[in-house]
Homo-oligomer: A and B are copies of this chain.
Amino acid sequence: MKPVIVVHGGAGTIISELHETYRSGVKRAAMKGYDILRQGGSAVTAVEEAVVLLEDEPIFNAGHGSVLNEKGEIEMDAIIMDGRNLASGAVSAVRGIANPIKLARLVMEKTDHVLLTCEGASIFAKAQGIPEVPDEQLVTERSRNRWRENLKECPVSVLSQKGLGTVGAVAIDSEGNVACATSTGGITNKMVGRVGDTACIGSGGYADNAVGAVSTTGHGEKIMKVVLARLILHYMEQGKSPEEAADAGLNYMKSRVDGTGGVIIVNNSGDWTFKFSTKQMSWAAVKDNLLHSGIYLGENEVLPIEKKK
């Protein structure tokens, strides 16, 4: 099987001054995951490492750079899923760590559970030797300013849409195993303890070797109401192509709950796609030593990459 990785840096509206920073981030994340895959690494490790890079980039709303809740604090959600056996790990509303996706993987591999929340997740992180990181190191000036503006301007419900920008990855490795990973700071000025789609298996992502893998982004509450990732895989099980299934899923979310968002998909034959019903979504993908990327509707920049010696 030829390895494939697809990543996204969130669906929403991206101001033009930041386009190059977003582009550069998703391209590097896709390349990092692809390098793992072409060296024989697993899909799970590829999606984890691609997401770690995006969590570490302050421009994205995950890990460093996460948006702030109504109290001005960071609470993060993340999920990882292994298509070989439906194993999954997730964390919700976790604080004070740099890479929630790494903690999600440890939940999957080191516990009998699927989801740990809040202090329980922090206690587990500490037991696993993950260093505590104070909010000052995770909060960017941009997140702080946005939070401050939202506080004075108008109610959360209107402005929360601005906080989109979840990151995610899907991959298939040389053995035909698929995986997904998604990580987010949630929505700006959210209530303390708000958990969105990302931590919720079937909503923020799903991976099953029998079909493929999906990672989602957009308005979390809407994504949850239609269990978007699993819905799209159901459509694929019924015979739809990844493109058709993505369109059907996004259309369903629009018509049932008036929601917008974006998805990345790889199926178990290595076909991949991205779709979004928002204005923009930053994304990148690598297959056959070609790096694809884009932000606008219809955009697909293709660059050859150096072959591994």
Contacts and interface: CB of A to CB of B under 8 A. Distances in A.
B191 A114 contact: no
Contacts of A194: 113, 115-117, 120
B120 A192 contact: yes
Contacts of A226: 86
Given A112-B156, A157-B112, A227-B201, A120 B86 contact: no
A256 to B, nearest CB: 6
Contacts of A206: 227
A1 interface: no
A200 interface: yes
A201 B224 contact: yes
Contacts of A202: 200, 202-203, 224, 227, 230
A234 interface: yes
A225 to B, nearest CB: 4
Contacts of A117: 92-93, 117-118, 193-195
Copies of this chain present: 2
A3 to B, nearest CB: 25
A85 B256 CA distance: 8
Contacts of A112: 156-157, 160, 221
A86 B224 CA distance: 10
A61 B192 CA distance: 27
A118 B116 contact: no
A75 B113 CA distance: 15
A201 B201 contact: no
Contact of A119 (B114, B193, B195, B256): B193
B119 A200 contact: no
Interface in A120-134: 120-121, 123-124
A111 interface: yes
Closest 9 CB pairs of A and B: A120-B193, A118-B118, A202-B227, A120-B192, A86-B225, A115-B195, A116-B193, A113-B194, A112-B157
5 contacts: A92-B195, A116-B194, A117-B195, A121-B193, A124-B191
Interface of A: 75, 85-88, 92-93, 111-121, 123-124, 156-157, 160, 190-196, 200-203, 206, 220-221, 224-227, 230-231, 234, 238, 256-257
